[in-house]
């Protein structure tokens, strides 16, 4: 007898296949001819991202015999062209890989690192924390990039092709250009003021001194040349070569327009920092949920432990039988509690004693789940528990606030014909990163170090997320792969969204696994995000449901409107061997799901 979840997934797969039209990329697709579709079903492999050109780049690699890792690198490089405010070689990310042959999951921590000279007072000035706005567009905010090292590490471990050919679709896209859409223009407009602080950024992203027009072709020849150099010389060109020298010079002497009056505080990045950088191969987090194995990224990201703890808290609730209001209440409260523990316990494990195993124990989750009441709401901020010494309904600690994380990261999900799967989230932190373009190189630098706590929220309580030399700031990135009882893939998902990444992945998983939603609908469902704050954020689809909102407010929930939370993608393995790729229907202008050979 099959597990109830397995039976339900079979039904969902059939339902999704019936209503879907497979989307395949033309062999060499341009942005203006590549259609966007939120769901695709077929054979030979699948790619889902926020952008049609990027998904097409991955499909091109799969068609030429590349595997999921190869296609993920090609897709990520293309996103560096078309989504330059969310990703690029000036940033970092986390890579989760399922190996079909061994039926095992592996991960790479490609998070940016602080300079080796950084201390806990990195963002203090005259003894006081800098304002976020003063820190973000500065050399101080820039960490050592991890994305190129992530690509090379993944290819060396599990890829089948060298880096050079995999960068060619992105190089071509940067050279020939892509068509500007509403999202690209809107994101440029949101950054226009600070982009004008930096002449190289303004020249690239404000061509002719104006916002790029929707429908115009946007070219980035500098980035095309940078990709060509990386492909020819390898990533050593960045970590030990000319590209790296240019990065160091830019961070330490930000090329600001003197007339702007902007104080672009210099950083202290060195060539030694670049040469010392390593993308870390590490074991994934794992928890069991409904008899399935849920694998994600371990610290330095808090994604795997926090999503996993929340799932464990929900394990003993039959979410499939609850009303919509009851389900949202349980989901919100589980998120609130898991974020309380995240703030106290999770940081870079090279510097902090992170009790990841204990945070993911069912015993600890049960000791926290008893805090949830059906007729009342926990008052935030909830204090953390102690996972090493679980006490039923105990919360002995002092609450730590959730640090700000930029929301416009990007996520891609890939599967190949052999059954390998990649869930990869990459970022330059907030929209537009630091706002600083490396002159002549065509890419923005990250502002990832602003993910550190600028100062302890409570001097009496240890903060695991203060800066340190070579330390990785805590992240919420949560690329997740779910396996069945036979260690075969069921679904893989991930999302951008700063700290809302955790809640987006959690809500998508529970919508798909518990609430019976097809994957594309679980991704599209209106979202709620609770991060141990006084108010829970709601997207308009929930905010405008007055009856539902009043039911939740009646037991104590308080809400505020958030126009858009996350932008997820995923892939699902169907029982007959086909892949289903899914992306957003509306958020960020809709995502792009493609397969190599669409099903009839």
CA distance 552 to 376: 9
Active-site residue identified among 75, 201, 226, 409: 409
Distances, alpha carbon 589 to alpha carbons 33, 253, 447, 583, in Å: 16, 36, 25, 11
To the query of whether residue 75 is one of the catalytic residues in this protein, the response is: no
Q: The tokens 């404000």 sit on which residue? A: 206
**Contact between residue 295 and residue 105 where contact means Cβ atoms under 8 Å apart:** yes
Q: If you ran DSSP here, which 8-state letter would residue 426 be given? A: E
Of 412, 413, 411, 410, the closest CA to residue 579 belongs to 413
**Contact between residue 446 and residue 110 where contact means Cβ atoms under 8 Å apart:** no
Residues 6+ apart with CB under 8 A from 348: 299, 300, 464, 468, 471, 472, 473, 474
Of 529, 563, 540, 518, the closest CA to residue 38 belongs to 518
**Contact between residue 417 and residue 44 where contact means Cβ atoms under 8 Å apart:** yes
Of 483, 466, 517, 492, the closest CA to residue 570 belongs to 492
**Contact between residue 477 and residue 93 where contact means Cβ atoms under 8 Å apart:** yes
Of 572, 598, 570, 563, the closest CA to residue 584 belongs to 570
Q: The tokens 């101080």 sit on which residue? A: 140
- Range list of β-strands (E), 151-305: 178-179, 217-218, 280-282, 285-289, 292-296
Q: Which residues are catalytic?
A: 409
């Amino acid at each position: 007898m099959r597990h109830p979840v397995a039976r339900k997934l079979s039904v969902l797969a059939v339902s999704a296949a019936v209503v879907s039209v497979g989307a395949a990329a033309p062999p060499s697709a341009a942005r203006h001819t590549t259609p966007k579709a939120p769901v695709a079903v077929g054979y030979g492999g699948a790619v889902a991202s926020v952008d049609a050109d990027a998904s097409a780049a991955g499909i091109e690699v799969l068609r030429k015999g590349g595997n999921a890792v190869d296609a993920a690198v090609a897709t990520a490089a293309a996103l560096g062209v078309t989504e330059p405010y969310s990703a690029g070689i000036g940033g970092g990310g986390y890579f989760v890989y399922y190996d079909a042959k061994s039926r095992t999951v592996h991960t790479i921590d490609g998070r940016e690192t602080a300079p080796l000279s950084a201390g806990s007072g990195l963002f203090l000035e005259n003894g006081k924390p800098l304002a976020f706005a003063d820190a973000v567009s500065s050399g101080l905010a820039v960490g050592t990039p991890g994305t190129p090292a992530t690509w090379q590490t993944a290819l060396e471990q599990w890829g089948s092709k060298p880096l050079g050919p995999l960068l060619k679709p992105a190089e071509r896209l940067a050279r020939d250009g892509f068509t500007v859409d509403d999202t690209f223009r809107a994101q440029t407009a949101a950054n226009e003021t600070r982009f004008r602080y930096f002449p190289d950024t303004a020249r690239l992203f404000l061509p002719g001194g104006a916002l790029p027009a929707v429908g115009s072709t946007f070219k980035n020849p500098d980035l095309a040349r940078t990709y060509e150099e990386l492909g020819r010389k390898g990533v050593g060109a960045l970590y030990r070569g000319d590209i790296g020298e240019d990065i160091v010079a830019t961070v330490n002497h930000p090329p600001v327009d003197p007339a702007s009056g902007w104080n672009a505080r210099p950083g202290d990045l060195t060539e030694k920092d670049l040469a010392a950088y390593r993308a870390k191969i590490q074991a994934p987090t794992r928890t069991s949920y409904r008899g399935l194995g849920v694998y994600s990224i371990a610290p330095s990201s808090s994604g795997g432990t926090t999503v996993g703890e929340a799932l464990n808290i929900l394990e003993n609730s039959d979410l499939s039988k609850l009303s919509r209001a009851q389900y949202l209440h349980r989901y919100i409260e589980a998120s609130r509690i898991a974020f309380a523990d995240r703030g106290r316990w999770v940081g870079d494990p090279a510097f902090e004693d992170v009790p990841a195993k204990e945070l993911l124990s069912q015993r600890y989750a049960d000791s926290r789940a008893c805090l949830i009441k059906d007729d009342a709401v926990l008052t935030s901020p909830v204090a953390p528990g102690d996972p090493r010494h679980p006490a039923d309904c105990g919360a002995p600690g002092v609450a730590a606030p959730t640090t700000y994380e930029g929301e416009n990261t990007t996520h891609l999900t890939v599967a190949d014909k052999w059954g390998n799967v990649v869930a990869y989230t990459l970022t330059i932190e907030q929209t537009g990163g630091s706002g600083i373009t490396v002159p002549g190189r065509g890419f923005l630098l990250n502002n990832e170090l602003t993910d550190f706590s600028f100062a302890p929220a409570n001097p009496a309580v240890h903060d695991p997320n203060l800066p340190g030399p070579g330390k990785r700031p805590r992240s919420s990135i949560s690329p997740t792969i779910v396996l069945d009882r036979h260690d075969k893939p069921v679904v893989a998902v991930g999302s951008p969204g700063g700290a809302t990444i955790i809640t987006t992945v959690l809500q998508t998983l529970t919508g798909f696994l518990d609430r019976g939603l097809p994957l594309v609908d679980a991704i599209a469902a209106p979202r709620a995000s609770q991060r141990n704050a006084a108010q829970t954020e709601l997207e308009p689809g929930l905010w405008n449901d007055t009856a539902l909102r009043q039911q939740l407010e009646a037991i104590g929930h308080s809400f505020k409107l958030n126009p858009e939370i996350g932008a997820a993608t995923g892939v699902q393995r169907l029982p007959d061997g086909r892949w289903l790729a899914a992306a957003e229907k509306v958020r960020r202008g809709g995502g792009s799901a493609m397969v190599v050979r669409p099903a009839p």
